[in-house]
Structure 1
Amino acid sequence: MATTSRARLASVIKSARDTMRKDAGLNGDLDRLPQLSWLLFLKAFDQRVEQVGALLDPDYRLAIETPYRWQDWAANPDFSGAELKEFVNDELIPHLAALKGADGDADDPRNVLSTIFKDVINRMQSGTLLRDLVNLVDEIHFESSDDIHTMAFLYESILKEMRDAAGDSGEFYTPRPVNRFMVQQSFLELGESILDPACGTGGFLVQGYEDLVRRVETDTQRRRLHNDIRGIEKKSLPYLLASMNLLLHGIGAPRLVRENALLQMRDATAADRVDVVLTNPPFGGEEERSVVEKFSKGYQTQETSWLFLYAIIDQLKKGGRCAIVLPNGSLFANGENSIGARIKKKLMQECNLHTVVRLPQGVFAPYTQIPSNLLFFEKGQPTEEVWFYEIAPPDGRKGYSKTKAMRVEEFEPCVEWWGGVKREGRVEGGNSWRVAASAIEEAWFNLSLPNPHVGESLTHRSPADLADELLETESEIMGLLQELRDEFGASID
């Protein structure tokens, strides 16, 4: 059995990226990484799904038939660069995009393939360089569990770079420590349906799968787990990356939907409700009118994060639970009759909002300096009190940055304080406090409450700290203005 060592794989990936840099059709990582990903996907799909399926089941029906299988064209050394480019552009991609599986069967790999490839474009202009790139990808093997773990490890590094590149265009991705903490404190169980309605590259889903697959003992449990890991993603590039990410972790037909998650959730039936939602919805976006009108009167707003919170509450089964990232602005008091106050009222009346974890500034650097919060709630019982826990940055620092990012170990004091699945033995003091639901209601459902044990105010902060914060805010504003100027070609003085 052929295997690929981590060092060899890293070398192959580096050579592949060097090859793509030579092609005039690829401009930056936002072009190069998707190009590499769909080729890696086809190679992995051929070895991990098609070949394994045919080996285990004599009646297995190939999702990709001759001459479109990877081994038919990619591994054929007689296929010249010009011929390969013409085949990929005019035959392969159109064929994969037109595949159609059984109606309504989300597990049919043909439906997965068609959803991925309907937006795939071969951007490479040189057939010779495309031939070189395909040859390099063909050197990678996915035949053993060690190969999968090795490729998954390196793929994570590719995704990180993809996130960094995407961050420049307004995409926010959840840092791994935050991702791991939210999954861990959700106390997942086998047999539960788990949804990320803004799944991006699949970080929450992969983390949840990795936590649960260790407990799998039978093939039936494994199949059920694959079916229970579900995601929704609107944009084509993250959808491709999430599909590849899940495939590399052993899920041959990922349960991912390419759709506007708000429309998908508002059109869902009771049978579509889930046990757990883990998500980091878009910050500060605005939805179009057709989406807003899907929501009840009195709750219609263009603010994306509010709509996600409302839709998720309805998407949960009774007894279901959620861990969600929300920016500070969503927690502030918004006025007695504001839509934000109404949605938080709905949250606290229909769910037990038991914990709010406040994150320091810079956790999502370099995308934004906006402080964020992690909300944990369970549907079925109204909130009686909310516990708050404030994560303090280490070493007396004010926050985090791209070069000094948050580490998973910094959540350990919060994990110890949490009190396990039943949240037993929590105490106030230092970083933790609790507030009665009645007090929050009286304050127009304001959840942006300061730590009473710190009592920091502007008068207690040094002029240097205040000046630094103002400079950071001004820098972020100027960055946004620069993006507007670049987008509209306007002159901003």
Structure 2
Amino acid sequence: MLHNNQILKALIDRLWNNFWSGGISNPLTAIEQITYLIFMKQMDDLEAKREREAESLGEVYTSKFDGMFKVPGSEEEISKQDLRWATFTSSMSGEALLHHVQTKVFPFLKEFEGGFKFTKAMASAVFIMPKPSLLEEAIKIIEEIFIEIKKDAIEGGHAFQDIQGDVYEMLLGEIASAGKNGQFRTPRHIIKLMIDLLQPQLGQRIVDPACGTAGFLLGAYQYILTDLVKKDNPEALQPDEDGFMRATVSATLNENLKHIVEESLYGYDIDTTMVRLGLMNLMMHGINQPNIDYKDTLSKSYNEDSQYDLVLANPPFTGNIDKGDINESLKLVTTKTELLFIERIYTMLKMGGTAAIVIPQGVLFGSGKAFVECRKIMVEKSELKAVISMPSGVFKPYAGVSTAILIFTKGSESSNVWFYDMQNDGYTLDDKRNKIEKSDLLDIVQKYHNRNSAPSIDNQRTVNFFTISKQEIVDNNYDLSFSKYQEQVYEEVEYEEPKVIFEKLETIEANIIKGINELKELF
């Protein structure tokens, strides 16, 4: 939707450039500060809406901005009305504005009694704004962005909530230098692929144990919305830029359905910044009370076993963690997070629950004991449904590591495993990641869902997808790499007889000598 609005795109670029030129060059720091400003505006807008609704109904409403606020670290008390976005952005400027926001508005935001889970995540937040001009320009651009969102909603017939969500997703898309501790944003089209493979349903409990900016939870939310629209108004569906059918009607959810969806989505992360960004991402898309919390799902403090119908994740590949921090319920003898997360995801699933996770391809064939035991969990204790290998450029510019998607259902054992070797994800595989026509994504979805009804192609392992029996995988030490089972096709090349080759070389040599002699005669 947003790709059609060049004005919004230009404003977002301006906002980012404002922070970079203003001295905040770290994209993660910049998006945090932008998020705090957006939350300040959201608080005021939401309260203003509630006040208008109460007035139109003739009801009494006590605003969260009524009363006085004691400024931390001082004896000063000020009216909460002075902490509203509409008030301070119109009445202050320069150093006075920066001081007011930094010492009064931001502390109030951290204690805001609006029922927001975002407020809880603000405990350790810090407001960093090096100069007044940066704050003034940021406020101006954010105001312009929301004016354009309203205009687009009216003229373009789009829901305000959906455009607002798209804007925040685009802001998050600028975090191209992330990657510390193995964290980087999963490309949106890969998330949509994994969501379409699992097909989440309304009422299912869905979790991401390392949720980052909540891309998987948002993807599940949008798929569920699409599924609801498909049943009532299928003509409203349109393919997006990657070919996936998606509806953009989050604002039309009735309160009952919204409550069901909100109580279905859960996310955890060990980075408080990511928790805040994930919360805001879902809030901007219409989920008022997201269930995202600060928690290390590999640690001793996490014990939510057998709670979820679906797990969607791209856990960080950080290498190793402290052995003493690992939850005792995890039995794999390893400190490698990519292996521990697979076991953790297995334990989080209800019996019959399904997971789709991204893993580094080394997990597919590693010969160490922990690697083999990890694969056994998916093959012997679960039904390993699919192994989808992805090209190494999928996660550029963040990382060039080769990855794969694993899909497994807890409970029954595997009988056959479906393999697919993705060649194209719809984008160039260099750092630029430009859109291209070739894409295997929809083909993967279609072939995966038809894998049991389609004729067996076990004897056609020269193509980019095939089915392998569990027994063959066991016989190969649970190796899950595509290349292990693919049959290589070798083209026969005929070479000339050595005698003929030597004759040709002699002719070439004679011509070279002749040419040299002719050159000598010129001097």
Instruction: Give the TM-score normalised by the residue count of structure 1.
Output: 0.78
Q: Is the 8 A contact 1:333 1:444 kept in 2?
A: no
* 2:261 equivalent in structure 1: 225
State the partner residue of 1:279.
Answer: 313
Give the direction of change, closer, same or farther, for the CA distance of 1:284–1:17 in structure 2 (3 Å limit): closer
> Per the alignment, in what secondary structure is the counterpart of residue 401 of structure 1?
coil
- The 2-side partners of 1:265 and 1:194 are apart by 20
Choose from 423, 426, 445 the match for 1:392: 423
1:216-260 per-residue CA deviation (whole Å, 9 max, x = no partner) reads 775322210122122112212222222221111111111111222
- For the 8 Å contact 2:40–2:84, the answer to whether it is kept is no
CA contact (8 A) 2:214 2:281 kept: yes
> Taking structure 1 as reference, are residues 52 and 254 closer, same or farther at Cα in structure 2, changes over 3 Å only?
farther
Counterpart CA distance in 1 for 2:118 and 2:12 is 25
Give the corresponding residue for 1:146. 159
Deviates more, 1:274-283 or 1:12-21: 12-21
Q: Does 2:36 match 1:23?
A: no
The worse-fitting range, judged by mean Cα deviation, of 256-265 and 182-191 is 256-265
1:261 maps to which of 276, 280, 297:
297
The 1:94–1:45 alpha-carbon spacing in structure 2 relative to 1, beyond 3 Å, is: closer
Structure 1 residue 415: Cα displacement: 2.1
Question: Does residue 121 of structure 1 match 2:126?
Answer: yes
SS for the counterpart of 1:242 is helix
Match of 2:170 in 1: 157
Question: 2:300 & 2:279 partners in 1: Cα distance?
Answer: 18
Provide the secondary structure at the position in 2 that maps to 1:262.
coil
1:250 aligned residue: 286
Structure-1 residue corresponding to 2:518: none
Q: How does 1:313-392 map to 2 (within 5 A)?
A: 313-335=346-368, 338-392=369-423
Structure 1 position 205 matched with structure 2 position 234: no
Q: Quick one: distance in 2 between partners of 1:287 and 1:455?
A: 39
User: Which amino acid letter does the alignment assign opposite residue 44 of structure 1?
Assistant: Q
Question: What amino acid maps onto 1:205 in structure 2?
Answer: L
Contact 2:28 2:178 in 1 (8 A): yes
Give a deviation string over 1:149-181, Cα, whole Å, max 9, x none.
33333332222211x121477532211221111
**Counterparts of 2:435 and 2:295, CA distance in 1:** 32
Are residues 64 and 447 of structure 1, via their aligned partners in 2, closer, same or farther at CA, if it must alter by over 3 Å?
Answer: farther
* Residue 414 (structure 1) aligns with: 444
**Residue in structure 1 matching 2:98, options 63, 66, 85:** 85
Supply the AA of the counterpart residue of 1:202. Answer: A
Name the CA distance, whole Å, in 2 between partners of 1:94 and 1:368: 37
Q: The residue matched to 1:348 in structure 2 has which SS?
A: helix
Mapping for residues 280-295 of structure 1, pairs under 5 Å? 280-295=314-329
Q: What one-letter code is carried by the residue in structure 2 that aligns with 1:20?
A: F
Give the whole-Å Cα distance in 1 for the aligned partners of 2:51 and 2:325.
43
1-structure distance, mates of 2:356, 2:82 = 40
Which residue in the other structure is 2:270 paired with?
234
Partner in structure 1 of residue 508 of structure 2: none
Task: Provide closer, same or farther for how the CA distance between residues 251 and 287 of structure 1 changes in structure 2, counting only shifts above 3 A.
Answer: same
Query: What's the offset of the Cα at 1:363?
Result: 1.3
Give the fraction of aligned pairs with identical amino acids, expressed as a percent: 25
Root mean square deviation, CA, Å: 3.3
Q: 1:11 to 1:358 in 2, by over 3 A?
A: closer
TM-score by length of 2: 0.74
Q: Structure 2 vs 1, CA of residues 293 and 196 (structure 1 numbering), >3 Å: closer, same or farther?
A: closer
**Conserved? CA contact 2:199–2:223, under 8 Å:** no
In structure 2, the residue matched to 1:166 is 178
Conserved in 2, the CA contact under 8 Å of 1:213 and 1:222? Answer: no
Q: Is the partner of 1:165 in helix, strand or coil?
A: coil
Q: CA deviation at 1:138?
A: 3.2
Structure 2 residue aligned with 1:9:
8
Aligned to 2:430: 401
CA distance in structure 2 between the partners assigned to 1:151 and 1:343 by the alignment: 41
Larger radius of gyration: 2
* CA distance in 2: counterparts of 1:199 and 1:235, whole angstroms: 10
Q: Give the secondary structure class of the aligned counterpart of 2:392.
A: coil
Q: CA deviation at 1:73?
A: 4.5
Separation in 1, partners of 2:415, 2:82: 57
Q: Relative to structure 1, is the Cα distance of residues 456 and 235 closer, same or farther in structure 2, using a 3 angstrom cutoff?
A: farther
**CA apart distance, 1:372:** 1.0
1:59-97 deviation line (CA, Å, top 9, x unaligned): 877667665579724543223332332233223333333
CA distance in 1 between counterparts of 2:301 and 2:201 reads 23
2:81–2:87 Cα contact (<8 Å) kept: no
Residues 394/230 of structure 1: CA separation in 2 closer, same or farther (3 Å cut): closer
* Alpha-carbon distance in 2 for matches of 1:253, 1:245: 11
